[in-house]
Structures are given as C-alpha cells and as structure tokens.
A and B are shown apart, each in its own frame.
Chain A
C-alpha cells in the first residue's frame, strides 16, 4: 500500500521532470498572471458594487419625504404663468415604483394678516400659567402671511391638536422649525427682539385676519407644532378648503408643490425621473443616489474589464496549456510507449493544472484580502460604509469562475492528449 503510494508520488515526480524542460512554460505563467489580475478586478468590483448596493438599500428602509416643484422660469415670471402639476402628472408620479404616497400642497388664495399681541393672548387664549409678557412680547407684532395645507398624513405633528372646527373661531397652525430658527438666530438678534424658546412656542397666540372677495373673518390662532419636514406655514386642510371657497371665492388651482413619501430616497431611478421632467427636489439624499449611481457605473466598467480579462486569460490559459502539451507531444508519445496510459497522463496534467488554479485562487485571495481591508478602511474614514469586506456572493463568484476554468481545461486537456495519442494507435 505504501509502496503503491510512494510509487504514485515518485511517478509524478518523474513525470514532472520529464516535462520540466518543455518549452512555453513562461507563457503559462503569463496567462496565470492575467487570470489573477482579471479575477481580482472582477471580484473587487463585484464586492464593492454589492457594498454600495447594500448601503443604498439600507438608506431605503426609512421612508423619507421630499418636496417636489416645477422650476420657476423667467418666462413664467414675466407672464404670471405659475407652473402647477396636472392631475395626469400627479397620477404618473403616484404610479412610480419609488413613490409610496403623494400629497398636494394647497395654497391660500386669500390675504392673511397676523397680529401677535400679548394682550390678545392674555385675554382670550392664555396657556395655563403662561405669561406672554414673560418672553417679552410686549409689543404687538403684525405681519402679512400665507398659509399652505397638506393632507394630515404628511404631517409630523400630534394629530389631536390638528383639527379645525368651523363652529369655533380658532385655527391651529404648524410652522417650520426653520422659521423659528431664522427668527431666533437671525431676525431677533438683528432687531434686538427677544428669542423664543421652543418650549413656549405653543403659548404664542395671535389674531389672524383672512380677507378676500368673500369678505373678512377673524380667528384666534395658536402654533400647535413645529415641523422639520415642511418648510411652510400650515393650517388644517378643512380650514383651507373652507377659506379658499368662502373667503377667496376662487376655484381650485393646480398645486405647485407636491410632497412625496418614498422609501427609496437614494434610488438613482428617481433621480433620473426628476431630472427628465425638470423637477426640483429638496433632498440631500438624492445626491447620495447620484454618487451611488456614478460609482455603480464606474464599478460596472471595472467589473466588465475584469470579466473580459478573466475570459481572455482563461482562453489564453487553456490555449497555452494545450500548446505546452502539443510541444510535449514527443514526450507524451514516448511515455505512452513505455506503458503510461492516457488516463495517467491526463490525471498528471490536470493535477498540475489544479495546482495552478489553486495557486491563482490563493494569490487572488491574498491580494484581495490584503488590499480590500485597507481600501474599505479608507472608505469608512470618508464616511461611506461599503459593508463587509467579503460578501459570500463574491466568494461564490470566485469559486464558480475557478470551477468553470477547471471544467473547460479538463475537457481541453483530455481532448489534446487523446489527439496526441491517436497518432499512435
């Protein structure tokens, strides 16, 4: 048994020697180098693409709200034509894969003026224990305003307070947190006015006068919430509908702004859609989508190059292996005359090929294993998480490619040795 094993080992050693001077070996090494390089490019690109894809999808798990509007043009400015969305356009938007919901902004068609007066607050709508004078609103503050409304489901405020009762002369208002910040950190400082802490913003009351061709009406108003989502002054939809109809006496106009709920804010497809329709969107996330898309395109190119290189190298590899065999034809013939069977020679040649293949795999793995953690660490340093250093799919793809190379060469070697042998029998 051991004698047999030793014999097999010695046989391989002798065969290796018998073929060791065969020409063309360096070409095989060259092809191997090409193969390794192609494999590295292909798998590297694949892995990075998987990482980017995962990063994009991770961002997509949270729904995000975007505000979309048509671009305001100079022509529009001069002709008073205000761009609005038609029913068809809204429906088309609703039908997109990346859109979960669409809400229309309805704007006020009536004039709105507000008077923030501590005395008014005091008299009629003071919060319990609140002292409007405490935050220094001793001077009445008057301003012309506008209102917008959105469907309730798009709002990030407590719905309990968000209700308009036609029987009462009270309107709840939601304003953008940005406005408070603007006031506190720019306007108030510049004008020497007191800053208003957010905790007491609910205590700010005032008188609102709405007027239009349908007459004039006064309301008490109260800021019931600050919105991070909507940069506007919002009133309940019911109030807006009523006021536009009764006060403004104007027919509904087409909405000029839409709010979109999406769960794929970084989807390059969405970016493409908005770009094609010349729509403006207020999202930083879209930029991530753009970067992701560019990275994907770059990676596709690298991946394609890698794939091409692998295919070429594989072709060259198989071809050269056959050339080496062909150039060793005389030796093969001699060995067959000594009694070596084609099966033995094939097994020997393939064994050498498998070793080359394993060497290629190890080399590629070593290079990827050394370079990738460094690249990925760098990526994380600049704030991009490319995911795990190796995706199972990458490893799987590598195995499949190597197996494919093996199978192709197996067939090739068998055929070549057979053909050399046909000579003889």
Chain B
C-alpha cells in the first residue's frame, strides 16, 4: 500500500440545472500523504469548495454530478461506496468544517448535543452514554470552551466560539483527514489568529491530515506544508510551501496573485489586480484556461491545453515550462 492517504485522479465535477450546466472541476489530480497539510488556494469560483464536497460526496443531490475520475482514500475509491459506508466515513475518517460558523450549527440543539451526536454516530467502541458525555466535555475543553457551556444553544455563543464548536464537532472522533473550507474567513483577524493557532495545535496533537481551503495566502504560509493553486476548476500549480513562495518559476496566475497583494514597504497608489475575469464556467474551455488573461499568452495557449511540468515535485501547468500538451484521458 502506498503512503498516500488521499489520491484524486482526473476528477471532473459539474452542476446540472434546467437552465445550464456548470463545469466546476475540470480534471484535478492531487495526492496527499498522512500527516500532511495541503493548502488549496484560489479565487472565488475556482472550484475549491466543490472539490472538497466531492471528496465527502456532499454535493447537492439533484444537481451535482461527478462525471469522471476517482477519489482514492487509503487506496479505496470513495465514488464507488454506498450511502451507509460513506456515512461511516464522514465524521469518523474524513471530517469537514464549513465557511460560515453562524449558520453551521443547528439552532434548536445545544452544542453539547451536537457534539454528542457526532460521537454517538461513530460509537464503535460502544461507550456508555456517560462516557460519551465525558468525551463531549473533553472536546469542548480541547477547543477552549468551558465544559459547563455544553447546555447552551448556538445563539448564545459569539462567532469565534461557534467556529470552535464546529471544529470540536469535526475533530471529536479524531478523523484522519480534515477538510477545512475557509474556516476563518468569516471571523475577524484577531480571532482568526486564535482559531488558526488552535487548529495547528490540534493537528499536531492528533496527527490529523488537513486540506485547508483558503484565498488568503497569509494563512497558507502559517499552516500548510504543500500548496495547490486552483483556477477555473484545475490545479494549475502545485508544490511545497518553499516552491510556491520562494521559487522563481510560477504559473502566470500565481504571479498575478502574489503581485496583487499590497506590500507594506512600498508606496503605491493603486492595487494591482489581474486583468480580466475568470472564464464562464458554463462553457467548456478550449486551450489553457488562463490564456485570455495571461500576459505571456502565445497562440498555442488558446488552442491546446498545457500539460504539467514537474520540477522536483513543483508542478506547473504552463507552456512556458513544458512543451507537452495535457493528455485528455477520456473515460
């Protein structure tokens, strides 16, 4: 068995509605080892959340469709599992925390009950009720909430506290993989730092692998080991933290991202955004997805899709670094 905890192969996901089809994920290849923290960066609409939801198969029933690809967790394809098996995996093997803590909790249940539910659903060790409640208490303590507050309802907590509860719920069963979808975006900066610190500590203590989805490069720098940059449903660059932050070679999009971050030590009058907009996800893209906005675009870029150039683990999908065209693996 490989060391790979999670391997995503050529994943294509789309949303099919009566009006139109939205191609959200267009051929993503990723892999993770145990204990690794992968940061997934990109703009809104890049397909990051869709990717994460696909792993747990939480896409909306009617509209979300995984059209191609495999998601291998510990070597097994999650896409082939039935509902019951997936339910045992969710929360226990793989957990997810979502973006908005304000609405992520059930307003009519106490926080204690919500953590308890997660424990109860995966009570493989057959602990008694009393023991389960004790675990609830320890989970709350773990995220820095006094256990006495377990009888309180979500509306009695502040935003930051709520997110901690969400994290407690996600981690209480000690999952191997945590999918964190912009966990601190909705919080203000000081709380953000606190929560991130807490997540890092927990990760270290429990040995959880994590996929951290964010659009904030600063957060990535603090927490992640590897980084993947997503654009228009594809991972256009992938590498270690060093590769992404320090290397000379970058995908033009990544350059643009870094370039758009205002620098403290320079005087500028205007921000430097990337020209143009993300391509219309309802259209299938011909050629490189970034080509319309790319300052280095060649004719070739508009018609052929670039393959991935692999430089010691640092992968970039751009014709500037590779001559290979991506192989369309059709299935």
Co-complex (A, B): no
